[in-house]
Structure 1
Amino acid sequence: MLTLLNLFGAVALLIWGTHMVQTGILRAWGVPLRRWLGHSVNHKGTAFLSGLTMTALIQSGTATTLMMSAFVAQGLIQTHAAMAVVLGADVGSSLIAQAFSLRITWISPLLIFIGVALFRADRTTTSRNAGRAAIGLGLMMLALQLIGHTMLPISHSPIIQQIFKTLTGDLLLDMALAALLTLLAHSSLAIVLLIVSLVGSESISPGLGFALVLGANLGSAMTPMLSSSGTGNAARRVPLANLIFKLSACVLVMPFLRYLPEWLALLDDDPARQMLHFHTLFNLATAVLFIGLTGPVAKLTERILPNSASSDDPAQPRYLDPNVINTPEVAVSCAAREALRIGDLIDQMLRHSQQVLCQNEEKLVRPVEQMESGVDSLYKAIKFYLMQVNREELSTVENQRWADIISLTINLEHIGDIIDKNLMDLARRKIRGQLSFSESGNEEIRELHDRLINNLRLGLNLFMHPDVKNAQRLLEEKSRFNELERLYAENHLQRLTNNMLPSVETSALHLDVIRDLRRINSHVCALAYPILDAAGMLTKNRLRQQNLEPEVAGPAKSRRRSLKGST
């Protein structure tokens, strides 16, 4: 019983070490790695190599596949290019298994020591995450050693030998078992290394080992397929293509399994090493066979999984993929794209509110209310989605991005409330009273709307592409907008003194409208503050002294003149 407990603990340590390496690498260098991956898919060869390298770094072909699925769903890359990346990812996973099989016992404690030293010596996020990855590598090697030592007494147990004998001979059952174990462990690398340890300790025969390795490869393709269930069809095409590749390759290899021990003995006499060679050759042959067919297979997956009809309901999220929550960097990107949809809704609401206020277009009031409901729903969906993201696995940059998305959605939700509850209420009162703004007042409100829409678009562009100059420009637009609001309020009061009837009838409405537009503009311009704050360009109270000096100097100068006159 104690021996089995030690075995289960060693396997769990192997899986946990794989997780630590993956999260450590992604936290430390996830942003540049994803950017590099996105830029390297223009050619099948570079896409294949990028997938190989990415998986070699993060120790998870499943994570790479889900990442590419999210990119395809967001329209960032084509399906056939993502397939080439996934084929490279499978080869990369097999090469990592080869590297872990090297019996260099002193590497494990050295990596753990280096990892702890990096984690404790330097408090920077990158150093701590690099230390986490090093500790994970050391734990994986230590777990493999523990599995090997634990399996020695187990391999001679009559009961265990009888259990393994019942598996031998039924190829489909053997493959199904390995595929199931891969699904449960969520890591084909861990299962393949476990199979290698079992064969090396003579707990199972090489023939059974080959069947289990084949099943582990099939399970590695089934894992992202199941993980992507419930998402859009575009996101499921890459896992489906990978499953087609693996299933086809398994069917082609199955008739030759009996000959593998003899053939692979030409490469290596060690049965454990033969498992690794078979794993590598299987994935390499699959890549060579299918990399030229990524185009036709992509078209096949598009027929099997056609594009879903886009929902006309603005309240329905489109990019919040729940299956990439375990890949926080991708999840943050999905949330950012969904946040831009709220910005698009706000843009439409502002354009409609301009027509309602200036032209008494009552038929547009209801659509504005519906869009505001969509803004509220998307805001809640994005907030709930981001709360599920493990921020500890995010880099400093991505953590800031997470906070920026929350800030953007909060400001946009406030803008939606102002348009719906304030501007539309004022518009209803104006329409019910059959009132009209003066020609000059209408033109002023129209100009403020136009400026506001331009500022919103600048702010959303700033959200996607942070830039200090554009952030300064947005704050300058805020100052101009505030000056215009004061000027137009004075113009309105001047029209009142001239007893212009439209201005008299709509006085309160007019002033409330321009006040609410200024409030909306303040929420839009708030997008500039984090960028300028990070650049060290904001004072503590965010007030520029030069803007206050004329207002302070003016009264002081007047007082000096009055004192001089009194003397």
Structure 2
Amino acid sequence: MPSGPKRDGPRREQCPPRPRDPALRCRDAPFPHERPALDTSPLAIYPIVAGLLGGIGLFLLGMHMLTEGLKLAAGRALEGLLERGTATPVRGLGAGMTMTALVQSSTAVTVASIGFVNTGLLSLQNAMWVIFGSNVGTTLNAWLVAALGFSFRIDAFALPFVGIGATLMLAGRTVRQRALGQALAGFGVLFLGIDALKDTFSGFGATMNLQDHIAPGFTGWLILVGIGTVLTVLMQASGAVIAIIITAAQGGLMSIEAACAMVIGTNIGTTSTAILSALGATSNARRVAATHVIFNLVTGAVAIALLPLLIGLLGALRNWFEQPATPAVMLAMFHTAFNVLGVLLMVPLARPLRRFLASHFRSREEEIARPRYLDAPSLAVPDLALRALRLELGRTQSFALTALTAATRVPPDEPWIERQASTLDALAPAIGDYVRKLNAMRLPPALVEAVAHSLRALQYQESAVTAVRQACALATTLGAPPGSELEPIAAAFRQATGALAASADAAREDFSAPAVEVRLEEAELRYQAFKEALLLEGAHARIDIRTLQDWLRLASLERRAIEQVAKAARMLAVLDGDLTPQQAEEKAGENGVE
């Protein structure tokens, strides 16, 4: 008996069972009937949601364990690499790539770079190249996912790492061994998360194609870039987002172009960490963070503009090597390619970018440290230039006096002292350069002598700040004077010091050289009284010799700072015409100041 009605026409060739890999699917299958309808019941949705959350959680946990373990295992070696390996831009680029590849965290490298710039161990120029290198180094994560996450049975590959790592974490004898175990366990957990994501997206991709819901053309790419950016900002882990994108593309949920656009968004999303770390930070920290932001924004803009071209070139390269263009490998290649392209773009832009950063993100202290009265036009009129120099020296005098006043507090205000001293240090070279330009002109003898007095005033101010810094460091360790008898005497000395600082301020309307001399004599008397009291305490063995020597040195440093600001005040009085140079020298001799 016939089994059914006969059909006219040639019989349509049946497509073989649909494989997971979209690159291997039969293109002749009838598109309307290729996918079954998506079951939206709670029982069907739950495995997808659970698999997605679990996979992301395992990946984030593994990444955290891997990063923290590698940082602990490496110890100070990474800091040494950053300190010694960034002498040139090329070495800085290599150091950034190497460190990020080792610790799998561009954020850690960025934070370390900020710290080294702030401490003066790393220049802004070299820190910029470390940041550029860290963006290339972070692409290793995509290669790990592409090369290992889809080429092996992941559980057989990852579980031994978890077991060995956990054993080392629990049984390791040293901190480095336990940290290495944490890194190995994290490496295994990371790939177990990828396995969970892969299974979730493979099942999800059989019933739904996200590409059907993506706007076509450039608008759709921009939306995907925004989605990748938002996901990275929310998860604070670009590696996890890239792993999700790779597994989704490999599972057939989206096209290569759509996945590449989202990968661009992950690069832009990493800037959120740099922006947050720069809030309330120093100006140098903001410049390093701005470097990271500018690099990723410029690179992302170029990559999205050249997206079809880049994907075509990468596809041609894969065909040339006769390798199957799997989505995972294509995305890893794209991630690396556009970050390398960004570095190439920065080669001609690095110098203008550095100048731009140096002129922006200035702190209040840096603005204060810029000369306020010295400018090139005033050099054309020597008398006007000398007046501008006097006004600027009045500012530096106030910084030295403010530092001296802060040193009289118990305990001394060390941050404020350092801020004032650093401002004076920044102004001193600008003043010296201005004086050299002024001396290059043909000046009358009176103005030449006035310029010499100006330089002497600056020298005295710098000497005073040096003494204040040393006194502050010593006073911080000594604390309050030993013995109740010494405290009133020490307080009187501090009060006399503060009175002298107030009178030596050349910016005050009642500033006068005689008033400074009166305060200086009073401070000298208080110093001698404090010194005699200290020696008396030592003679009666109420203070040990070492403590006595420290307190005598502290009093001597404070006395030297007092004398130096007084000498600077005399030079300013000479410039104002209130004292003659001979009178200033006589006053210095009367006070026993060299």
**Superposition TM-score, scaled by structure 1 size:** 0.60
8 Å Cα contact 2:493-2:527 kept in structure 1:
no
**Cα distance in 2 for residues equivalent to 1:139 and 1:412:** 53
The reply on whether 1:298 has 2:354 as its aligned counterpart is: yes
Unaligned runs of 5+ in 1: 313-351, 353-362, 379-408, 449-483, 491-510, 522-567
Indicate the residue corresponding to 2:275 in structure 1.
Answer: 225
1:211 to 1:439, Cα distance in 2 relative to 1, 3 A: closer
Indicate the residue corresponding to 1:416 in structure 2.
Answer: 479
**Greater Rg by CA:** 2
The reply on whether 1:282 has 2:338 as its aligned counterpart is: yes
The reply on whether 1:173 has 2:226 as its aligned counterpart is: no
Unaligned runs of 5+ in 2: 1-45, 319-324, 369-400, 418-471, 496-521, 553-594
Correspondent of 2:77 among 5, 25, 32: 32
> How big is each residue's C-alpha offset from its partner over 1:393-434, in whole Å with a ceiling of 9 and x where there is no partner?
xxxxxxxxxxxxxxxx999767334489874423347999x9
**Cα distance in 1 for residues equivalent to 2:403 and 2:137:** 56
Indicate the residue corresponding to 2:490 in structure 1.
Answer: 427
Amino acid corresponding to residue 489 of structure 2 in structure 1: L
**Cα distance in 2 for residues equivalent to 1:93 and 1:431:** 56
1:3 to 1:424, Cα distance in 2 relative to 1, 3 A: same
**Cα distance in 1 for residues equivalent to 2:252 and 2:130:** 36
1:48 to 1:516, Cα distance in 2 relative to 1, 3 A: closer
> How big is each residue's C-alpha offset from its partner over 1:23-54, in whole Å with a ceiling of 9 and x where there is no partner?
11112223121122111110122111111110
**Cα distance in 2 for residues equivalent to 1:222 and 1:144:** 25
SS in 1 for 2:75: helix
**Cα distance in 1 for residues equivalent to 2:527 and 2:407:** 24
1:58 to 1:168, Cα distance in 2 relative to 1, 3 A: same
SS in 1 for 2:245: helix
The reply on whether 1:489 has 2:540 as its aligned counterpart is: yes
8 Å Cα contact 1:199-1:205 kept in structure 2:
yes
Greater relative contact order (Cα < 8 A, sep 6+): 1
**Cα distance in 2 for residues equivalent to 1:170 and 1:113:** 44
Indicate the residue corresponding to 2:66 in structure 1.
Answer: 21
The reply on whether 1:185 has 2:235 as its aligned counterpart is: yes
Correspondent of 2:170 among 120, 128, 138: 120
1:87 to 1:159, Cα distance in 2 relative to 1, 3 A: closer
8 Å Cα contact 1:372-1:420 kept in structure 2:
no
> How big is each residue's C-alpha offset from its partner over 1:163-216, in whole Å with a ceiling of 9 and x where there is no partner?
556999422221111111112222222211221111000112212111101111
Indicate the residue corresponding to 2:499 in structure 1.
Answer: none
Indicate the residue corresponding to 1:246 in structure 2.
Answer: 296
Query: Offset of 1:515 from its aligned partner?
Result: 9.7
SS in 1 for 2:86: coil
Indicate the residue corresponding to 2:571 in structure 1.
Answer: none
Superposition pairs of residues 335-350 of structure 1, within 5 angstroms: none
8 Å Cα contact 2:224-2:261 kept in structure 1:
yes
> How big is each residue's C-alpha offset from its partner over 1:257-281, in whole Å with a ceiling of 9 and x where there is no partner?
2344433222331122111110000
Q: How many residues get paired?
A: 388
Amino acid corresponding to residue 251 of structure 2 in structure 1: S
8 Å Cα contact 2:412-2:476 kept in structure 1:
no
**Cα distance in 2 for residues equivalent to 1:20 and 1:422:** 58
Indicate the residue corresponding to 1:257 in structure 2.
Answer: 307
The reply on whether 1:372 has 2:411 as its aligned counterpart is: yes
Query: Offset of 1:225 from its aligned partner?
Result: 2.3
Amino acid corresponding to residue 64 of structure 1 in structure 2: V
1:427 to 1:119, Cα distance in 2 relative to 1, 3 A: closer
**Cα distance in 1 for residues equivalent to 2:209 and 2:484:** 74
**Cα distance in 2 for residues equivalent to 1:228 and 1:423:** 46
Correspondent of 1:68 among 99, 102, 113: 113
Correspondent of 1:136 among 183, 186, 206: 186
SS in 1 for 2:79: helix
Amino acid corresponding to residue 236 of structure 1 in structure 2: R
Query: Offset of 1:56 from its aligned partner?
Result: 0.7
Amino acid corresponding to residue 67 of structure 1 in structure 2: A
**Cα distance in 1 for residues equivalent to 2:546 and 2:121:** 41
Query: Offset of 1:81 from its aligned partner?
Result: 0.1
**Cα distance in 2 for residues equivalent to 1:206 and 1:81:** 36
Computed over aligned residues only, the root mean square deviation of the Cα atoms, in angstroms, reads 4.2
**Cα distance in 2 for residues equivalent to 1:101 and 1:94:** 11
**Cα distance in 1 for residues equivalent to 2:216 and 2:530:** 88
What's the % identity of the aligned pairs? 25
The reply on whether 1:2 has 2:47 as its aligned counterpart is: yes
**Cα distance in 2 for residues equivalent to 1:442 and 1:436:** 10
Indicate the residue corresponding to 1:57 in structure 2.
Answer: 102
1:121 to 1:424, Cα distance in 2 relative to 1, 3 A: same
Amino acid corresponding to residue 304 of structure 1 in structure 2: H
1:70 to 1:442, Cα distance in 2 relative to 1, 3 A: closer
Amino acid corresponding to residue 179 of structure 2 in structure 1: N
1:291 to 1:437, Cα distance in 2 relative to 1, 3 A: closer
SS in 1 for 2:354: helix
8 Å Cα contact 2:62-2:186 kept in structure 1:
yes
**Cα distance in 1 for residues equivalent to 2:482 and 2:145:** 60
**Cα distance in 2 for residues equivalent to 1:430 and 1:412:** 14
8 Å Cα contact 2:537-2:543 kept in structure 1:
no
> How big is each residue's C-alpha offset from its partner over 1:55-77, in whole Å with a ceiling of 9 and x where there is no partner?
01110112111211221122221
Indicate the residue corresponding to 1:212 in structure 2.
Answer: 262
SS in 2 for 1:230: coil
**Superposition TM-score, scaled by structure 2 size:** 0.57
